[in-house]
């Protein structure tokens, strides 16, 4: 198998992905009146899985198990945070939403840094309610990049730019991902964010 190089994660972001996700989910579930985390539905069940792994990290023994778990983390974060970011809603607590999005971006960065292969993950039939069979990167990036351009969200946009550059470096460094993913990733990002922020690898 081709070897791959790991891109270093920012030392400020050393907490395990499950811990970051659990903190984020707890903040969302306790600060919102939504029942999405308490109705026994999909998000509630996924949150319970995160809590179990956070309390017992040894449940993940193999790289494949970690990738599968990180796939679930990114799905949950996308559904709970990114899809609920509505800065134009006059009734929204914009500071809380902004903070949740920044935390979500940080968690995504750590997760992708630990298991780059998660970017290429596909979901099995019926595995997730709102996820098709496309590679994860093509599913999650539109959810992130729709946040670009909102007034008053400059910090979010800066973090998104940094995350996109980081993803490019991760894909470039991983010899398993680079051949099939790098060219379409660059083409997609350039077509979406041209003129909004630089996506050249730093």
pLDDT value of position 8: 44
Summarize the chain as % helix, strand, coil (round to 5): 65, 0, 35
pLDDT value of position 7: 43
**Tokens found for residue 158:** 């800066």
The strand pairing partners of 43, in sequence order, are none
pTM, entire model: 0.82
**Tokens found for residue 34:** 């939504």
The strand pairing partners of 190, in sequence order, are none
Residue-wise burial string across 91-108, b where 16 or more C-beta atoms lie within 10 A, e elsewhere: eeebeebbebbbbbbbbb
pLDDT value of position 171: 97
**Tokens found for residue 10:** 């920012």
Judged by DSSP in three states, 93 sits in: coil
The C-alpha angle 5, 6, 10, rounded to 5 degrees, equals 150
Tens of pLDDT, residue by residue, the chain (202 residues): 333 444 444 444 557 787 888 787 777 766 554 545 545 588 888 888 988 998 898 999 999 999 999 999 999 999 888 887 776 776 667 788 888 889 999 999 999 999 999 999 999 888 899 998 899 999 999 999 888 777 667 788 889 989 999 999 999 999 999 999 999 999 998 887 665 544 454 4
**Tokens found for residue 120:** 């290429």
pLDDT value of position 146: 83
Sequence ranges of the domains in the chain: 13-193
């Amino acid at each position: 198998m081709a070897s791959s190089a790991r891109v270093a994660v920012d030392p400020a972001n050393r907490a395990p992905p499950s811990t970051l996700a659990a903190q984020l989910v707890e903040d969302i579930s306790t600060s919102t009146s939504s029942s999405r985390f308490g109705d026994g539905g999909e998000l509630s069940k996924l949150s319970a899985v995160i809590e179990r792994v956070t309390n017992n990290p040894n449940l993940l023994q193999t790289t494949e198990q970690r990738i599968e778990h990180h796939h679930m983390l990114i799905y949950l974060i996308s559904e709970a945070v990114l899809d609920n970011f509505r800065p134009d809603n006059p009734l929204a607590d914009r500071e809380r939403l902004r903070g949740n999005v920044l935390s979500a971006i940080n968690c995504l960065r750590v997760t992708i840094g630990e298991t780059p292969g998660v970017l290429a993950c596909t979901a099995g039939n019926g595995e997730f309610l709102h996820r098709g069979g496309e590679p994860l990167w093509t599913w999650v990036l539109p959810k992130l990049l729709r946040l670009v351009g909102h007034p008053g969200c400059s910090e979010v946009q800066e973090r998104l730019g940094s995350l996109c550059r980081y993803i490019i470096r991760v894909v470039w460094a991983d010899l398993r991902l680079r051949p099939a993913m790098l060219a379409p990733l660059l083409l997609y990002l350039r077509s979406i964010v041209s003129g909004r922020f630089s996506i050249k690898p730093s």
